[in-house]
Chains A and B, each alone.
Chain A
């Protein structure tokens, strides 16, 4: 079974600074997808960024980027120029491709990291 581990329950960052959230996962598969979701106090789950395992290039979305280390099974999220609106719970998630025949497209989540942004 796949597992996702976020070892930092809480983190804080000064506004305009950079912060990195850690995520490791365990899988025997060679092809899969990885995601970072943001959950603000409104509870809405918002997709921040995704990475396909077969792509060596790290995904980037504006101020958000990932450091994907496939051999180490590590998938960290870097937030640059942190803003007050970045304060939220962040979840790392894993999913197999449909063609894997796993039977579903379910996401396996880590326990989350609560990020605080200090003005």
Chain B
């Protein structure tokens, strides 16, 4: 029972490089999210998706793009990484059902941009 899996767990990028973070969930959840966690800031929403083929902006979307081509996967892309994107990134998912309110989180990806 894998739950929510993020790949990779750690990455170091040079400024200007691009990369994609993968989030995969095996619980058939409709809703998926990408958050970033910075010291003293809590978790802030970057983008989210309410279903396959849909995406929407969250609180801090600039510099990121996302795609949800398959229901189980939610990709977060950085086209040209900047030091300000150094952070820990979390993916989360939950069911589109009022009776099930818990969000499930991945283990996080620590990204350093130098």
A111: CB under 8 A from chain B?
yes
* Chain B at the A interface: SS class: strand
Q: Within the complex, what minimum Cβ distance (angstroms) separates B16 from chain A? A: 27
CB distance from B82 to the nearest CB of A (A): 23
Residues of A within 8 A of B44 (CB): 109
Decide: A50 and B101 in contact? CB cutoff 8 A. Answer: yes
Write the nearest CB–CB distance from A59 to chain B, whole angstroms.
12
Tally B residues with Cβ within 8 Å of A: 27
A: which residues have CB within 8 A of B?
Answer: 4, 9, 33, 42-45, 47, 50, 52, 91, 95, 97-99, 103-112
- Residue pairs across A and B with Cβ atoms less than 8 A apart, 20 shown, are A4-B42, A42-B107, A43-B107, A44-B105, A44-B107, A45-B105, A47-B103, A91-B42, A98-B98, A99-B98, A104-B48, A106-B33, A107-B33, A107-B43, A107-B103, A109-B35, A109-B44, A111-B41, A111-B42, A112-B42
